[in-house]
Amino acid sequence: MEQIDERFSATVDATGLACPMPVLRARRKLDEIAEGELLLVIASDPASMHDMPAFCSMAGHTLLMARVEEGQYHYEIRKGKDAA
């Protein structure tokens, strides 16, 4: 994997994992980082394009960007203040 941008406090590589695992792994990692920090999630499951925005909205996180890059789904998430 390419070197990850230093803006991110953590990265979750959920490639090869089916729904709901990318969201569950993201939630676990978000629990480990501080409010306002950035998380990069990389997934291969097309269902994550629906699941990740819904999760961020419900959990109080901000989905800054979602893009497809070389067949993988990349999500940039800022941990929310009220998120547990």
**β-pairing, 38-43 with 62-69?**
unpaired
Catalytic pick among 10, 17, 19, 66: 19
User: Going by C-beta distance under 8 Å and a sequence separation of 6 or more, which residues neighbour residue 29?
Assistant: 10, 12, 39, 41
Q: Is 19 a catalytic residue?
A: yes
Q: Give me the helices (H) in the chain, please.
A: 21-32, 48-59
State the catalytic residues.
19
